[in-house]
Each structure stands twice: as C-alpha cells, then as structure tokens.
Chain A
Amino acid sequence: MFWQRGELACVEMVELITDYLEDALPRAQRRRFDAHIAGCPHCREYLRQMRMTIRLTGVLRVDDMTPAMRADFAELFRRWRAEER
C-alpha cells in the first residue's frame, strides 16, 4: 500500500491509531507514526481524544448486587451442595 513509505498522512493515522496504542506497529511504522504526530497538531488532538475516550469508557459502572441477589447465589450454592451429595 501507499503508506509503506514516505510520510504518514492524517487519513492513515486514524486507521493505525489502535495498533499504535496497542504497541502492535512494526518499528518502522511506529517511527513514521511518531514523526507524523510530532508535526501534526490535528492528529495530536485526535490521539488525545482517543485516549480520553478510552478513559471515559472505563468509568461505566453496573449497579451493585442487591441483598436479594446475594441470597439467590447463596441458594444456588446450597442447591449445588445438595446435588453433590
């Protein structure tokens, strides 16, 4: 593909960004990526937004278990013990 050599274009950066963050880019590609980011404020912003997105996704929470649910699982355990015997 055309991005194997020369300067990285912004349109390629947005497709390589996850491999970059996952540290899955071959070394030469990573250098091109870093070089591009260093010179392109828009792509730096994009990278920042991607990192922010990952962090924000991480704050999602599920409701805690209720006492009733805890009792259900204790009951499940007892059923299993009974079937074991």
Chain B
Amino acid sequence: MGLISSIGLSRRPPPAPDPDAELLARLRGGEEQAFVMLVERHHASVERLARSLLSNAAVAEEVVQDTWLAVLRGLDGFQGRSTFRTWLLRILVNRARSTGVRERRTVPVGDAGPVVDRSRFDASGAWMSPPEHWVEDSQERLLAQGLAEDIHAALDALPERQRDVVMLRDVDGLSAQEVCEVLELSDANQRVLLHRGRSRLRQALEDELGEV
C-alpha cells in the first residue's frame, strides 16, 4: 500500500497517519469496545451532518445507524486511501441521498447576487455603510452574549449545501480536500459554497451585534 502511494500518482502530499488507525485495528480484531469508542469519537460530526442532510430527526437517526452498520460490513474493504473520517462521512452522505429526502441538486452552487448588499457601497465600489467595529471582540464575551445560539440559528437557516460545507469546514474542522471528497464537490464549488455560507453568517452576526 505504501509502495503504490509513494510512486506519486497524485499530487497530494502523503496523508498523515490516520488518527483512527489504532481503533480500527482493534475493531478488526473484533473488539466491541473499540467500535463504541470509534462511534463516540465521530459522534458529533456524524450527528451534525446527518441532521443537516436530513431535516427529519427520526430519518437522520436511522441513517446514522445504517451508516455504522455499513462501516462494519465494509471494514475489510477499507483500504485507507482516505482517512477513516472521510470514508465514514462519505458513506453517510450516500445513505442520506439514497433516502431521497433531499434531492440531489444540479443547480449551480452560487445563489445569485453579491454577499454584501450593493447599497452599502458607493458608485466607485467603496464602503458607504461600512461594517461597524465589533467592540466585544473577545470570543468569550461574544459567546457570553448568547451569540452561540444566534450562530446556530443562522447556520440552520443557510441554504442546504452552504450549510453542509460550512459545518464540515468550520465546525468539524475538515480540510477543503476532505470536504470535496465527502460531498463530491470540485475545489471551486467548495469555495463558492463556503464563501456564501460564511458571508451570510458574518452578516447574521453583524445584524445581531448591531442591535445591542
């Protein structure tokens, strides 16, 4: 395995060791506890993505169970060409899509229009109504104001595909490359979705902080 990947078929840097490698080895050895630990480790990412892909909580739960069963069944076929996490989330996406609850879109990724209202700029493109300085600029103080809930709500309100991308990148901490693999997106489309989603979240925070 190491031999083939070191020949350099891909331009990607060699992957870092998979943080799940040890648990996977134990799981392959038939250890139940290793499985539960693996589920626990990825619980948050899996739950969030399932709920983002499937708004119906009961369906989401079913798909999560399905996904883990598919992981167990497919374990022998998992070659480690991607990280375990990427492989796992990819299975989840496929399972979610196969429920047909959310149709796969072929529409362009960019919802039309600028991310900041054009009326905030003058004819030369300079700020006319610039963003006001966020005074409470320490993370703790912003969160103490209950902003966590506002962000949560704003994230929920994002168009689906923007929400998937922003969540995987900024909440779960996946790399751009991983998100492209999980959601089957091109680099460019991943960035467009990320851009629109993040810009909307910023706007939502600005709206919230402006009222204080």
Which A residues are closer than 8 A to B by beta carbons?
9-12, 14-15, 17-19, 22, 24, 40, 42-43, 45-46, 48-50, 52-62, 64-65, 69-70, 72-74, 76-81
Contacts and interface: CB of A to CB of B under 8 A. Distances in A.
Contacts of B124: 9
Interface in B137-166: 137, 139, 142-143, 147-148, 151-152, 155, 166
Nearest to A2: B125
Contact of B69 (A14, A42, A43, A76): A76
Contact of A53 (B40, B118, B121, B198): B198
Nearest to A58: B170
Contacts of A60: 48, 148, 151-152, 155, 171
Given A52-B139, A57-B155, A42 B44 contact: no
Contacts of A46: 130-131, 202
5 contacts: A10-B121, A57-B166, A57-B170, A62-B44, A80-B69
A19 B139 CA distance: 24
Interface of B: 30, 32, 35-36, 39-40, 43-44, 47-48, 65, 68-69, 72-73, 114-116, 118, 121, 124-127, 130-134, 137, 139, 142-143, 147-148, 151-152, 155, 166, 170-171, 173, 176, 187, 191, 194-195, 198-199, 201-202, 205-206
Nearest to A70: B36
Given A11-B114, A18-B194, A57-B171, A80 B126 contact: no
Given A57-B166, A57-B170, A73-B39, 7 more contacts: A12-B125, A17-B195, A49-B131, A56-B151, A56-B205, A70-B39, A76-B72
Contact of B195 (A11, A18, A42, A78): A18
A46 to B, nearest CB: 5
Contacts of A61: 44
B139 A10 contact: no
A58 B65 contact: no
